[in-house]
Amino acid sequence: MNDVLDVALRLAAVLVAFLVLPLVVGQAEHKTMAHMQGRLGPMHAGGFHGWAQLVADGVKFAQKEDVVPAGADRRIFRLAPAVALLPYLVVMLVIPVGPGGFVGQVVDAGLFFVLAVMGVGVLGSLMGGWASANKYSLLGGLRTAAQLMSYELPMLLAAASVAMAAGTLSLPGIVEAYQWWWTPWQLVGGLVFFTAGLAELQRPPFDMPVADSEIIFGAYTEYTGLRFAFFLLAEYAGIVVLCGLTTVLFLGGWHGPFADTLGWVWTLLKTAALAFVVIWLRVTYPRMREDQLMKLAWTVLIPLALAQIALTGVVKVVFL
Amino acid sequence: MTTPHAAVLAASSAPGFLSPTGVEVVFVLVGLVTLGAAVVAVTTRQLVHAAMWLVLALGGLAVEYLLLTAEFIAWVQVLIYVGSVVVLILFGLMLTKAPIGRSPDADSGNRPAALVAALAAAAALVALVVDAFRTAWIDLEEVQGSTEVTGEILFRHWVLPFEALSVLLLAALVGAVVLSRLRRAAAGDRPDRQGD
């Protein structure tokens, strides 16, 4: 009975985190962008800095009519938001937050599990892009697929470098093996991982698949109401997952002063700091062109990731 | 993995077929779902739906690996097939016409030949697997296919096939680059303008 309760509690905790953290990131994005661009944005709802605007947006999404275009493939069109959102929920299950089993579920090959399931999420964008019966959606889907193809490889290679360093594929195992000098040692790999992750999430400056000035909103053009909100939520959940993973793999997760009791605070703080960087990049950099995107992936990120693997191997064999 | 393993017991001490455990029942059910999805994938007239059914079939296979406690193989299956191969297929379908609804030209007239080839391949594979393992029994109580075990078997016992495969993949990669270059040269040898 205790086991069942334990599992239920862990699942509930992950579900709560899944429902809360993306919204926090979304709200932080609104406010950070507003301040960085020197504009106020909605400041009245709820009083303090318009914090209730997010709630109002949610209510608005729920009230909107759920439109399916006449020419669309109804079943795939309706299924796509769920396919985009659910993988991130599953990934959150295995990200370790604190020492001593503070994780939804320990998975033996956790690193591979995470990368595999994150790749599935992109299927949702492809399904939506094709099923909308809209040229812009189709173009968005094509760009999504091309981008995923190019950036999956450097991401995997960078993650493999960490796995080599730690000698395990288990995420808690990787954090346990972490030493402070890993961060400079794996610095290049970390940058490659983070950049490729941004591209996989289609965050600016890698948001060519949803470039609003060219193809309206890419694969999500035809979506309204809650289904559109699900796609947005998937993007923010993706930010949380990417930042959490970068924290776990490259920044030492729960390591910090008083890690035994305050470990989870460190994980959350590092994740939040990375999420801030994600938002910061959106405000700072212009969108990259499609050919620039491809060039960056194949001529910069992949060679860097390979060099990182070589460095990891040399250090591992010679010094450890 | 055909290497003799301590947990692969002789038939005499193996459990019978008449009292299946829960895992075995689930294994068979997931197998049926996988088979059904695979059959629909090759018979449906809607191209993109076929790709979606393929996702289900490949995902079902991953679940089967999981049930056999080969966790690492299962995640690799998802990563490579669902995450990459299906995305590539969808990319190709989007580049071509792939209409919404039925494709009237999806029937190529090769159906009987394809059916014969598929059945022959299936028969050969089933016969091979049945003959190779016969009455071998895997004890699923303890984890058999953890990452560590898989890595050890792959890089100790099977390292030569592994390396041969990597050479094959490299050859395919080089071949693809050469083919794309050939076509560009035939199109009039214009300067490479992609970089500017």
Write down the ipTM of this complex: 0.79
Measured CA to CA, the distance from residue A196 to residue A202 in angstroms comes to 10
Q: What is the pLDDT of residue A1?
A: 58
pLDDT band at B3; cut points 50, 70, 90: very low
Q: Which residue of A has its CA nearest to B56?
A: A120
Q: Is B137 helix (H, G, I), strand (E, B) or coil?
A: strand
In a domain, B23, yes or no: yes
Instruction: Compare B99 and A34 and report the one with higher pLDDT.
Output: A34
Give the best residue of A68, A78, A113, A157 to mutate against chain B (max B CB count within 10 A): A113
Q: Does A123 touch chain B (CB under 8 A)?
A: yes
The verdict on residue B1 lying in a domain is no
pLDDT, tens digit, for every residue of A16-34?
Answer: 888 888 888 888 888 888 8
The answer to the question of residue B176 being in a domain is: yes
For residues B180 and B122, membership in a common domain is answered with: no
Amino acid of residue A262: L
φ and ψ at A102, to 5 degrees? -85, 75
How many percent of chain A have pLDDT more than 90? 4
| A72 interaction partners in chain B (CB closer than 8 Å) | 100
**What's the domain range around B43?**
11-143
Backbone φ and ψ of B137, nearest 5°: -130, 125
Q: Is residue B4 part of a domain?
A: no
- Concatenating the DSSP letter of every residue in A40-102 gives -----TTSGGGTTHHHHHHHHHHHS-----TTS-HHHHHHHHHHHHHHHHHHHHH---BTTTB
Residues B104-139: tens digit of each pLDDT: 666 677 888 888 998 999 999 999 988 888 777 777
Cα–Cα distance measured from residue A192 to residue A179, given in angstroms and rounded to the nearest whole number: 20
Cβ contact, residue pair A73, B101, below 8 Å: yes
Instruction: Please indicate, yes or no, whether residues B28 and B109 belong to a single structural domain of this protein.
Output: yes
B76 lies in some domain? yes
- Kindly state whether A122 is in contact with chain B, defined as any CB-CB distance less than 8 angstroms: yes
Residues contacting A172, CB < 8 A, separation 6+: A96, A101, A103, A106, A110
Q: How far is A120 from chain B (nearest CA, A)?
A: 5
Report the number of distinct structural domains present in chain B.
2
B31 and B118 in a single domain? The answer is yes
Higher pLDDT, A24 or B98: A24
Q: Which chain B positions have a beta carbon within 8 Å of A84's beta carbon?
A: none
Regarding whether B44 and B106 lie in a shared domain, the answer is yes
**B114 and B44 belong to one structural domain:** yes
Residue A148's φ and ψ, nearest 5 degrees, are -60, -45
Provide the whole-model pTM: 0.82
**A280 or B96, which is more confident?**
A280
- Which residue in the block uniquely carries the two structure tokens 């019966």? A133
B17 shares a domain with B58? yes
Separation of first and last alpha carbons in chain B: 50
Residues B155 and B105 in one domain: no
